[in-house]
Amino acid sequence: MTTVDFSYYCYRCGEKNTLEIPCPEAPDFHHQDLTCKNCGDGTRVLMSHCPHCSRYVYWINDLSIPDLVQGFAKYMIHNMQKMIDRAAQDGVQIDIDTTDKFPINATCPCGHRFSVDIPIPDLD
């Protein structure tokens, strides 16, 4: 797996932080917690390497994108199950096919478009 020297400036204190982070090729990704070496403030980064060149794309966020996708999937499955159960009471059978990944589209600075695929666990 490729690693990259990643630098960012803390949005709380402005300190420059540099660290080496694993960066797999898309559609795979690496999600990591970051902690400012100066003030200790935390955030997260999701990184993926462009499959067409040596560059990478990243998203810095305070939320965990994979956890957010999984939480939304659980919510949707719960609501769909209620709808299926209600339809069954009326003698109707409903099948809903759910996807096993959530794509996040990206455009590399080289111009190529690709997606990072966050897996959605089988929650049935």
Cα–Cα distances in Å, from 64 out to 80, 93, 96, 108? Answer: 24, 36, 27, 22
At residue 14 the predicted structure's pLDDT band, cuts being 50, 70 and 90, is: very high
DSSP line for 86-105: HHHHTT--------SEEEEE
Give a yes or no: residue 86 inside a domain.
yes
Give a yes or no: residue 30 inside a domain.
yes
Structure tokens at 66: 């994979």
Answer yes or no: are the C-beta atoms of 93 and 41 closer than 8 Å: no
- State the CB neighbour count (10 A cutoff) for residue 75: 11
Domains identified in the chain, total number: 1
Give a yes or no: residue 74 inside a domain.
yes
pLDDT tens per residue across span 54-63: 899 999 887 7
Q: Please give the residue range of the domain that contains residue 106.
A: 3-118
At residue 123 the predicted structure's pLDDT band, cuts being 50, 70 and 90, is: low
Q: Which residues of 28-42 are buried (b: 16+ CB within 10 A; e: fewer)?
A: ebbbeebebeeeeee
Give a yes or no: residue 123 inside a domain.
no
Give a yes or no: residue 124 inside a domain.
no
pLDDT tens per residue across span 67-122: 888 888 788 777 877 888 888 888 887 776 777 888 999 999 999 999 999 888 76
Alpha-carbon span 57 to 26, nearest angstrom: 10
At residue 41 the predicted structure's pLDDT band, cuts being 50, 70 and 90, is: very high
